[in-house]
Amino acid sequence: MPVKDVIVRRLRPTDDPEQAFCCMDGVPTPWPEALCTCRRWLAENLGRHVEGYHSVLADGTAVGHLYYAPAERALIPYQVEPGVVVLYCEWVQQRYQGAGLGRRQFSIFLDAMRQSGAKGILVEWRRPGAAGGSEPYPRRGFKSLLRREDAELYYLPITQQEIRVTVQPPRLRPWRGRPVEIQVLAGYRCPVDVATLLLLRQVAQEFRDQVVLRELVLSPQTLSEFGSVAGILINGRRTLFGGETEESIRQAILEAF
């Protein structure tokens, strides 16, 4: 279908959550279970911690998505002044890439943010090797605000050139001892992160009572504690970031011993 026939529209509570996260459609196991988890999270939090747009075909099938939230309600590891919009994720399926759909999707979102009087748009780009991709934001006029170990924060001004942003530092400190404790912050905003959690559950069972697995749901409280929207801490040390293989997860646990 030509891109001109694809409709970009705002997400509504009545929309089918099965159309969310179209980036993962057709990806083999273990992604399907992770995809279902993320779709449930979006359906439960739409209008609260997440809003967005879908690019859909005539039959309602989503071929692109863009998810965001106002800074006051966004689940991010930063303290941001009110009035800023946080872009979580945007994607267009491969068969529609290179035809302008991604630009149109973002343009419609940007126009809506201008009309709402937003100060600007903030986005965290995860570098390659941390489930990241190519870096498109400077080409769109975004400017770098700060860097973290595995990510960089960009800002696109709309009505305000400068904003206040600070990193939310984690309160946890590494420790030694047995049993090894694994703390999982399950973000549910990305199937890549959730798939790692699903694998981790399986691997942790191999160690029986030598490993304690503690899963935490993403919330403002866990953000304050962890300083991250996703990740896996082994004895208080952030070790896994999402997208790891079963063997790399097993190795990370063995190293903790």
Q: What pLDDT score was predicted for residue 129?
A: 44
Cα 234–Cα 184–Cα 131 angle in degrees, nearest 5:
95
Q: Judge whether 174 lies within some domain.
A: no
Q: Judge whether 172 lies within some domain.
A: no
Residue 145 belongs to domain with CATH number: 3.40.630.30
Burial 3-17 (b: 16+ CB within 10 A, else e): beebebeebeeebeb
- Nearest CA among 81, 73, 22, 78 for reference residue 51: 73
SS3 string of 75-122?
Answer: CCCEEECCCEEEEEEEEECHHHCCCCHHHHHHHHHHHHHHHHCCCEEE
Residue 232 belongs to domain with CATH number: 3.40.30.10
Domain of 241 in residue numbering reads as: 180-256
In sequence order, the 6+-apart residues with CB closer than 8 A to the CB of 141 are: 156
254 — pLDDT class (breaks 50, 70, 90)? confident
Same domain for 85 and 14, yes or no, is yes
Same domain for 37 and 121, yes or no, is yes
Same domain for 131 and 58, yes or no, is yes
pLDDT average, residue stretch 160-188:
80
Cis peptide before 30 (omega within 30 of 0): yes
Same domain for 34 and 159, yes or no, is yes
Same domain for 193 and 156, yes or no, is no
In sequence order, the 6+-apart residues with CB closer than 8 A to the CB of 193 are: 131, 186, 187, 230, 242, 243
Q: Judge whether 143 lies within some domain.
A: yes
pLDDT average, residue stretch 161-178:
81
pLDDT digits (tens, 9 = 90+) for 30-89: 566 667 778 888 898 999 999 999 999 998 899 999 999 999 999 888 899 999 999 999
Q: What is the DSSP letter of 22?
A: G
Domain's final residue, options 132, 167, 202: 167
Same domain for 188 and 150, yes or no, is no
Q: What pLDDT score was predicted for residue 133?
A: 43
Same domain for 131 and 74, yes or no, is yes
pLDDT digits (tens, 9 = 90+) for 182-221: 887 766 667 666 667 778 888 888 988 899 888 777 777 7
Q: What pLDDT score was predicted for residue 35?
A: 76
Same domain for 206 and 158, yes or no, is no
CA distances from 126 to 28, 59, 98, 225, 256 (A): 23, 33, 22, 21, 26
Same domain for 9 and 135, yes or no, is yes
**What is the count of structural domains for the chain?**
2
